[in-house]
Amino acid sequence: MQSKARIYADPPLHSDQFDRIPDSIVLLILNKVADVRALGRCSAVSKRFNFLVPLVHDIYVKIDRVVTVDGDPSDESLNLSSPKPRNLFSHLLKLVLFTILKPFHHLRNPSSGNKPLLPQLSHHSPAQVLKNFTQIRNLHIELPAGDVGTEDGVLLRWRAEFGSTLQNCVILGGTPIDRKSNLFDQDPFPAAEDSGSIPESFYTNGGLKLRVVWTISSLIAASTRHYLLRPIIKNHPTLTSLVLTDSDEQGTLSMGAEQLREFREKPLAASASANRTQVPASNMKLRYAPYLELPGGIGMQGATLVAIRPSAEGSSAGAAVASSGGGVSNGGGRKEAEAFLNSSFDGPFRAAVKMLLKRRTYLLEMNGF
Amino acid sequence: MASYERRKVTLKSSDGEEFLVEEAVAMESRMIRYMIWDGLAGDVIELPGVKGKFLSMIIDFCKKRVAWAAGGDGTLEGLKSDFVKVDLGTLIHLSAASFCLKTNDLVDLTSQTLANRIQGKTIDEICRALNPEE
């Protein structure tokens, strides 16, 4: 090790000083930057940064807007404010491009003087934007909004895990109300009515039908997101964690290392419409409470928890029976399933899941679609 | 063993500055700690990878942290945020120095702070701050 004694003047930082910072530090910092647009800017700062940025492991992509491709005359008019799930899905199904500032647009090119100084808004898919990164391990993509439209005041949250296909999904839905401003002086659903079972009114007033719609909509949203990830998974064999969320915090799709490996090894089954992954035949466990008191001063009306798992092949646990207690399930997977449910949501919704898990379970069977 | 906390050791930076510190403070650096445990350290420990200016700042932080852990007042968060109230260039050097000394939480702290600062800046701002080679 050299032991020259040198005395430096105080800042500014000279380039030879900066060179002494090892690459591992620069990479450490770039990994914490994570945001793909900021990284794009960094790659234009110096040759060295330009070399290091593509090696970053942890990347976060925030998508500003979602646009559709031109030209298909059979497009329905897309009304994003419509609460009907179907319109939103055809919108998603035709989705190809995303609007995102192209991160590598800023590479300085002194020879072409007419390059604009301001970044241009151009359409690029996440797969294109990520193309230059060769070592991604942890990828988090955030969509601008949730995919499932619901009626005013209704809250819907879903979380799904996928390998080649759906492995696990949990959906929580209901109408949150502010307990403090509750117009009723008493509990709107007196305890006497709440025997733990689903009341008859649930079936007659459209409650069950609505929840089936929530469930199917969420599964379509999840499987569409999964299908959209194909090129990214294909182009980045170093991926060990992939998470796709939205800024409304409605839905979370996640794939871990094992699941990504399964995806690569087993071919993908696309559904008939070929724009989303096939949802396999599944067992659904539904739990319902007309009213829940949650921590933080809120309550939830019509709280529903639906837990979905693909049916085991040849399992005899498939009859659509209203069962009590824990329902029918294979013993080994049960602890994992419960752990998944308990950790899926945060805050008051985690408490809601806990409360709903204590209620009676209704088992439903669903074909693949 | 009780007397070892009082032992002092001299840390010598790459530009020849010397700092006399208590062993307990010096051992906040994992690198120095392992040298001492393995019996490889004399009375003077040379640190060719770290300049005096930055070594002094890190030693100062470690002194304060040891004092805080022994029941001083203030918060660790406060100590940390004071440590990073420096310009970008200094922050980079502190990050490299922490890495060299293996004071891991300082590495995390400085690199996260740097990342946060880079996040919001335009290319020109980053360039000006780092003044890299062209």
Please state the three-class secondary structure of B95-124 as a single string: HHHHHHHCCHHHHHHHHHHHHHHHHCCCHH
Please, what is the angle between helix A207-228 and helix A85-93, to 10°?
A: 10
A19 shares contact with chain B (CB less than 8 Å):
yes
For A119, A135, A236, A280, A332, the CA distances from A259, given in Å and listed in that order, are: 37, 18, 14, 16, 19
Residue B130 has its nearest CB partner, among A5, A18, A24, at A18
DSSP label of B1 = -
Residue A35 has its nearest CB partner, among B96, B119, B132, at B119
A13 shares contact with chain B (CB less than 8 Å):
yes
- Return the H-helix or E-strand segment holding A18: helix A15-19
Residue A13 has its nearest CB partner, among B16, B107, B131, at B131
Instruction: State residue A316's pLDDT score.
Output: 32
Answer yes or no: are the C-beta atoms of A255 and A241 closer than 8 Å: yes
Nearest-by-CA chain A residue for B119? A38
Instruction: State residue B30's pLDDT score.
Output: 92
Q: What is the pLDDT of residues A281-313, one digit of tens each?
A: 999 999 999 889 998 888 999 999 999 999 875
CA distance A50 to chain B (A): 12
A189 shares contact with chain B (CB less than 8 Å):
no
pTM of this prediction?
A: 0.74
Chain B residue numbers touching A18 (CB-CB < 8 A): 92, 130-133
pLDDT in tens, chain B (134 residues): 455 557 889 999 999 999 999 988 999 999 999 998 888 878 888 888 889 999 999 999 999 999 898 888 888 899 899 999 988 778 888 988 998 899 988 999 998 998 888 887 888 877 776 664 43
Residue B15 has its nearest CB partner, among A6, A28, A32, at A6
Residue count (chain A): 369
**Buried b or exposed e, range A43-64, using 16+ CB within 10 angstroms:** bbbbeebeebbbebbebbbebe
B96 shares contact with chain A (CB less than 8 Å):
yes
Helix then strand then coil, % of chain B, to nearest 5: 60, 10, 30
Quick check: ipTM above 0.95? no
Dist CA B35 CA B21 (whole Å): 15
CA distance A136 to chain B (A): 18
Question: Is B133–A28 a contact, with Cβ atoms under 8 angstroms apart?
Answer: no
Where do the H-state alpha helices sit in A198-328?
200-204, 207-228, 230-235, 257-265
- Strand locations in chain A, DSSP E? 58-62, 65-68, 95-99, 138-143, 155-162, 166-178, 241-246, 251-255, 282-294, 298-310, 362-366
- A155 C-beta neighbours (distance < 10 Å), count: 17
Dist CA A317 CA A324 (whole Å): 14
Q: Which portions of chain A are predicted below pLDDT 50? A: 1-17, 70-121, 185-186, 191-193, 314-332
Chain A residue numbers touching B131 (CB-CB < 8 A): 12-15, 18
Instruction: State residue A322's pLDDT score.
Output: 36
